[in-house]
Structure 1
Amino acid sequence: MKKRLLFTVVIGSLLQLGMIQPVGAGQEIQNKLFIEQHEAIIAGETIPLEVPPRVWQGTTMLPLRFVAENILEATVGWAQTTQTITIIKDDTIVQLTLNSPKASVNGKTVNLAVAPFTEQDRTLVPVRFLAETFGYEVHYDSGEKSISLRQAKPPVAQFRLSAETIVAGQKLWAEDLSYDPYGYPLVERRWQINRDPKLRTNDLASIFSSPEPGEYIVGLQVKNKAGRWSEWTEQIVKVKPNEPPLVVELRPVKPVVDQGEKLDFIYRAQNEIWEDIVEERWTYRHLHRDIRGSGKPRALFAPGDYEVTLELKDAYGNWSKPAITQITVTDTVRHSELEYKFRQPVPGEVIDNPSQFNYNHLVSEDNYTFRTGGPILLLSNSPETVPAPGILYRDKLSGSIRVMFHHINNSPAVHRLVVIAENQGNEAITLTQTKTVTQGPTTDVMHLGQLSALEYLQAPQQEKNIVLEPGEKHLLYQSPTTGWKLNHAITGVFDLTSSGPVSITVAATGLNDRWNGDTLSHLPLLPRDIHPRGTFPNADRWVEVFLNSGKPRKIEVGKHQQGFETWLSGYDALTGAPVSNVGNYGSIYYLTFVAEDRTGILLNPRGLNF
């Protein structure tokens, strides 16, 4: 079984600080050159120099051919027509051009502090560039104005874990004790789990924060400034199962209450002492009538016996077994439901409606103003159930954009969901993310939509600017590295603005597909199903309702051709066909109610289980 490799790790980094080992006493430096002096010491032997090292524009410059052939043991070539010098050693090929501040190292452009120049037909180049490119260390002695070069030794990776055995979800402390034998700065590290290159990162916490029970090999490798990597060092961590919480007591403060009387409950629970309870899930139901609800009941409004259930969720994600208690409601009425809940309002609280009043029978309010506007909506919800890797939706847009996607994995060949922005034009563009919300993967599809909508409405505005050069791609979203499992759903909503046309792709990829390569161009376009997808201008609605009659009224949202409401019209960019957004998914409604008297607003969702 594939394991989730996630648990919280806090790194105490000593890469740039202490733990650096000094050079051993008596160790001799073999290769030494002197500023403005016409001799060098190579392997203990004094050799004359035609052109000495110089300091030019604050940078130490060394005679290239002398250093390359006598110290680096590299081959040097010269092309007169292009004024280009080529240095070859093993698998490293370097090309420099006289008076150019740019060099090529194995085809990659590198900027130089000072451009190479000639003196007495000898080329001088920056010492730091030569040393770091070919894995040598540089030592300066200001007293004798000397530069010593020696082949870099690899650094030594070391780390210490706070515990060899933990419980899943428990914090693990890792102290980095890596060092370089010559005291050379350490500039990079990478962690690896179970010797798997796919589980490699420079941030251990990003792949190892909430594991399933088992035994894991944690490896560390570090690199010094000369480009040398250490050997891997490893330690084994054993992870014990995280037990779910246990509700050991649940009871009402008063087992018998009146209708509309305030309820209180007492409960006690057991859990790991270091772990928090992060969520309570309350439900209640009448034992003899079809009255049920979710959330902790503040009061009940129909006589009879009720069953109240509590489940607890710990920080690791385990849910307790349900704990159940009972409470009896008398025939005495202290407050009706609407009176109680409107006088002590809790936004979002559900109305049980024990009298089963049918709100659909209310008269529609026709005194309103209505307008549309807002961003262009790019909606990817079809095929909702993904049958194979492929392109789910794609379009090129500019200006104010909202991206919404909702998909369920239905294929073992699908490994992750990605959302990619690409500049296919000839000029740079700026993409600004103002809201980013994602939920999942999870099998709880119904709850997923509620959570994503709630998080979107609560999320603060942000401004994250991304500059895309021509041909450049940017990953807006990628599902967790643990994989997008079968029958798991993912939902996301992004608000963006783009200074120019940007191509946005929602795709399901396989295990070996890479979003920043040419994989996307080879993925097939997946055909739509009955669910909506497309591009829809003017996605949002503004409605102002004027309530003056003093009687209950209704307005209907999301019901085609009722009052002001119509489905969003747009097009499917993959087929060119006109489409309707049945349900107006991804549309934001701004509702304003104007009333002379204090007025309560009830939201009555339709759609059965949805």
Structure 2
Amino acid sequence: MKRYLKVVTASVAVLSLTALPFIQSNESARPFVAYAAQTSVEQQSLALTGNDRFQFTKNSNLIYVNGVPTSSDEALKVEKGTTYVQFKSIAKLFGYKVSYDSQTKQSIASNGSHKIAFKQGESTVTVDGKRTNAGGKAFTSNGHLMIPLRAWANATGSSLQVSGGYISLTLNTLPKANFSVNERYIVAGETTVTIKDQAAATGGFSIVEEKWDGLEETYADPGQYTITRQVKDNRGIWSEPYTVTITVNKPNVAPIADFSTNKLTYKIGEPIYYNNLSSDDGKIVRNTWTGNDPAFFKAGTYTVKLEVQDDFGAVSSVEKQITVSNEVLYTKDQFYLNFAVPGDKIPVDPSFSLSLPSIAYEIVSEDVTSVRTNSPEQLTGAAIDYADTISGAVRFNIHKQNIAEQPLQLHLIATNESDEPTTVSTNRFVYAGPVTHVSTAGKTAAARFLEKLLEPLQPETVTLLPGESVELMTNVPAITPAKTLTIFGEYYSPTPIKYSLVVTEKDGDGIAALETLPQSEHDGKHIRGTFSGGNRSLVVNKVLGENRGEKLVLGDKQQEHDKLLTGVDAVTGEPLINYGNGGVVYDLTLDVEPHTAVLLNPRGGHYGGALIVNDKVIPLTSNSILKGQDEAGFIHRSGSFQETINIKYIVAPGSNMPLHLMFVPIPSLDAADNANASSAEQDGQQENQQETVQSQN
């Protein structure tokens, strides 16, 4: 349905002007009007069109308004290179009311809320309360105030042009018909189109009528449509047409969920390959699988479900059945250790890593300062979070959750407290969030930091003068309520620099806040402190993966294997231990036996992070996190010969330590070596029988 809007309001037109493009003065274009027929400007009834031209002649009181002559009481004068016009005459021509303030001794021209004020003997003009240079002093002539013509042009937004002995001011007071369409995405037959009114009438006028072309509440067919609007003010002057082109899209069609497997019946432990065949007329943004195990280890029928969602939120799902026979192809250990790829999550017996011998290692530390600011982890408002004075290389590990009602902003401020200039370099910087889940923020930030480690170092250096402060973290988003943000930042300064982590409200000034905000308090649960030895290499003097397997223990609280950093809370001076060694970069170069699987098993709870393995970042895990001791992340598989592998990692904030890095021999897939296959089948049958009995009981 087409929509035509019309508003009419009775009003008395008031002569007024504000801003107009310049129209070239042209003496030959003026119509001849007998000057003797004109009287003073106060008595004129000049028809203004919204595109108005005022033409002056030097040393003359004759003024043409859109070609119609009128006069002022005082002729145009030139004093010391500045052209002056009578204030009262020009103001009334432009539709302003003139008044005099006896207290300020200012002559004031007003039009609605717009005010222009001059004062005799002063070379300034006050426009809407703001004083600017007028380009010459106002003075009186025969009792009339004379003002610089250019100052008036600037104050009213007029264009001024000089041609020979003539001067022209041009002014545009046409109303503007601007508007925008509120709906960003319009669907044919579905979306109701609404308009945001951005029209304006200048100089105190009001809009009394509008007309539309091409505007409909809904559009039946897809395509491009042009909407045009014009408005009229209470002088009766219409605006230029204003157009907006919109695109109307065809209605969304829900996606079609579908998948296939390479067959429908499998043996126990046989790999299953799922092929996602889902389709959509737009884009599928989410694929959620249920029951799509890479293999099954008990006979039976299994239901696999795939749900997909498109970019408009439409959802579709499909379920299919997979049958697993009693015949055994591979055991669980054979399957996962031979077929998993780096980043996969695999099931493990929670007690398995405990049965593996722990391998001793030496720790070689590098003198890099590590600052961990995880306390208070939950932010309640603006405060100074942490501050310490540090020289050399420093790494900040910042992990914060906002539990306040308003967004909060983090600032890391570097201050040069010395008497000499110095420099601060940002070597690496990453952040993740704000997100809902703390483990997601920590995992993503750790992965991004490891990716930075693989890139060439490109420091960004700033110079700080004595006493100067600078914000080091720019373009970091505010933390919205109930969200978490994780940051890793590495900096270097040859001399001591005071680093201050400041929390303000969104878009607050962190440097100014240093003088006013209180110091936050330790939450009593998390780590806040400065530690030395923030980089460490682990040296193992043996080939890993012998016999049933071995493990390296990392970040254990008892410190039987890994050693936890000790440091100090610079706020309180209290000595403390960096439990979990958060913020420490580990570097391990290890010799591994042939046919060995390298796995990571969390022992303190869930863990979501990443590792660098032979210069490739491996997420833990690719599609999730490790939720507990019964899961492990598959990291690497050695080939037919002994290998040397390099592993680097940084503890992911929001996760739990310690970790067991396991080196497990890979069982053979040869049928002759698969002595456990038949027993696995029997075990599976016995488990099925036991489950049946339990369900009956």
TM over 0.5: yes
Q: What pairs up with 1:139-154 in 2 under 5 angstroms?
A: 139=160
520-529 or 87-96, which deviates more: 87-96
Cα displacement string for residues 467-499 of structure 1 (whole angstroms, at most 9, x for unaligned residues): 77735546536545xx723x4333333344457
* TM-score for the superposition, normalised by structure 2: 0.52
Paired-residue identity, %: 23
- Find out whether 1:254 has 2:263 as its counterpart: yes
- Corresponding residue for 1:191? none
Determine the C-alpha separation between the residues in 1 that align with 2:165 and 2:448: 63
Cα displacement string for residues 358-405 of structure 1 (whole angstroms, at most 9, x for unaligned residues): 123222233x55322375333222222334543433445454443332
Determine the C-alpha separation between the residues in 1 that align with 2:499 and 2:56: 55
How has the CA–CA distance of structure 1 residues 566 and 26 changed in structure 2, closer, same or farther, with 3 Å as cutoff?
closer
Determine the C-alpha separation between the residues in 2 that align with 1:393 and 1:157: 54
Query: Paired residue for 1:93, among 111, 131, 146?
Result: 131
- Corresponding residue for 1:539? 534
For structure 2, the 5+ residue unaligned runs are 1-19, 24-48, 65-71, 91-115, 137-147, 203-241, 607-655, 657-697
Contact 1:75 1:89 in 2 (8 A): no
Determine the C-alpha separation between the residues in 1 that align with 2:151 and 2:590: 72
Q: CA deviation at 1:558?
A: 1.2
Determine the C-alpha separation between the residues in 1 that align with 2:533 and 2:254: 48
SS of the aligned residue for 1:504 comes to strand
Q: CA deviation at 1:348?
A: 1.3
- Find out whether 1:436 has 2:430 as its counterpart: yes
Cα displacement string for residues 57-101 of structure 1 (whole angstroms, at most 9, x for unaligned residues): xxxxxx5x96998998644878xxxxxx766454223479xxxxx
- Corresponding residue for 1:8? none
Determine the C-alpha separation between the residues in 1 that align with 2:260 and 2:331: 24
- Corresponding residue for 1:419? 411
How has the CA–CA distance of structure 1 residues 598 and 161 changed in structure 2, closer, same or farther, with 3 Å as cutoff?
same
| Superposed CA RMSD | 5.5
- Corresponding residue for 1:158? 178
Q: CA deviation at 1:156?
A: 4.9
SS of the aligned residue for 2:474 comes to strand
How has the CA–CA distance of structure 1 residues 307 and 404 changed in structure 2, closer, same or farther, with 3 Å as cutoff?
farther
Contact 2:364 2:536 in 1 (8 A): yes
Determine the C-alpha separation between the residues in 1 that align with 2:301 and 2:153: 79
Q: CA deviation at 1:26?
A: 8.0
SS of the aligned residue for 2:581 comes to coil
Determine the C-alpha separation between the residues in 2 that align with 1:131 and 1:283: 75
- Corresponding residue for 2:442? 449
- Corresponding residue for 2:578? 581
Q: What pairs up with 1:197-596 in 2 under 5 angstroms?
A: 248-249=257-258, 252-266=261-275, 273-274=281-282, 276-282=283-289, 284=291, 297-300=293-296, 308-312=304-308, 314-315=310-311, 327-336=322-331, 340=335, 346-353=341-348, 358-366=352-360, 368-373=361-366, 375-397=368-390, 399-412=392-405, 414-423=406-415, 425=417, 429-432=423-426, 434-442=428-436, 444-458=437-451, 470-473=468-471, 476=474, 478-480=476-478, 484-485=480-481, 487-497=482-492, 501=497, 503-507=499-503, 509=505, 514-515=508-509, 518-519=512-513, 521-529=515-523, 530-548=525-543, 551=546, 552-560=549-557, 562=559, 565-595=562-592
Which residue identity does 1:573 align to in structure 2?
Answer: A
For structure 1, the 5+ residue unaligned runs are 1-19, 34-38, 53-62, 79-84, 97-115, 118-126, 183-232, 285-295
Determine the C-alpha separation between the residues in 2 that align with 1:138 and 1:73: 20
Q: CA deviation at 1:582?
A: 0.9
Determine the C-alpha separation between the residues in 2 that align with 1:137 and 1:474: 45
- Corresponding residue for 2:78? 49
Contact 1:77 1:86 in 2 (8 A): no
Q: What number of residue pairs does the alignment pair up?
A: 464
How has the CA–CA distance of structure 1 residues 491 and 497 changed in structure 2, closer, same or farther, with 3 Å as cutoff?
same
SS of the aligned residue for 1:608 comes to coil
How has the CA–CA distance of structure 1 residues 408 and 608 changed in structure 2, closer, same or farther, with 3 Å as cutoff?
same
534-543 or 397-406, which deviates more: 397-406
* TM-score for the superposition, normalised by structure 1: 0.58
How has the CA–CA distance of structure 1 residues 504 and 607 changed in structure 2, closer, same or farther, with 3 Å as cutoff?
same
Contact 1:424 1:471 in 2 (8 A): yes
Q: CA deviation at 1:149?
A: 6.1
Determine the C-alpha separation between the residues in 2 that align with 1:475 and 1:490: 13
Q: CA deviation at 1:579?
A: 2.2
SS of the aligned residue for 1:454 comes to helix
- Corresponding residue for 2:216? none
